[in-house]
């Protein structure tokens, strides 16, 4: 598992990525090339800024909201995402994830 992944944006307290107020984390990188993709600028895996799970959890704990992962496609980093969601669940919050994988 990578120690860090590149994050494009973190939105604190959004209501558009799932139920209730959420911390939304946009992970860089996608190769699906879906027709009509809403955000082709997110496809570059080298975009954004690197974050570790610990750094992301510091922000998630600070906000104390449920969490949504989007991108890009978070599931290009399955082990990192699994550990991040486990950490989110461990503090009593749910984690949603948007993916282009089937």
The residues near 24 (Cβ < 8 Å, ≥ 6 apart) are 9, 10, 11, 14, 17, 67, 68, 69, 70
Query: Which of 48, 71, 74, 95 is close enough to bind ligand SF4 by CB under 6 A?
Result: 71
Tell me the C-alpha distance between 73 and 62, whole Å. 25
37 binds ligand SF4 (CB under 6 A): yes
Contact pattern for ligand SF4 over residues 81 through 100, marking x by CB under 6 A: -------------------x
In the complex, which residues of this chain contact ligand SF4 (CB under 6 A)?
30, 32-34, 37-39, 42, 71-73, 100
């Amino acid at each position: 598992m990578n120690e860090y992944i590149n994050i494009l944006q973190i939105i604190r307290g959004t209501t558009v990525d799932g139920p209730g107020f959420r911390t939304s984390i946009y992970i860089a990188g996608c190769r699906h090339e879906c027709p009509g993709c809403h955000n082709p600028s997110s496809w570059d895996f080298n975009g954004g800024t690197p974050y570790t799970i610990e750094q992301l959890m510091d922000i998630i704990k600070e906000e104390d909201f449920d969490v949504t992962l989007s991108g890009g496609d978070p599931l290009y980093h399955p082990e990192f995402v699994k550990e991040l969601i486990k950490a989110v669940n461990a503090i009593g919050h749910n984690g949603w994830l948007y993916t282009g994988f089937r």
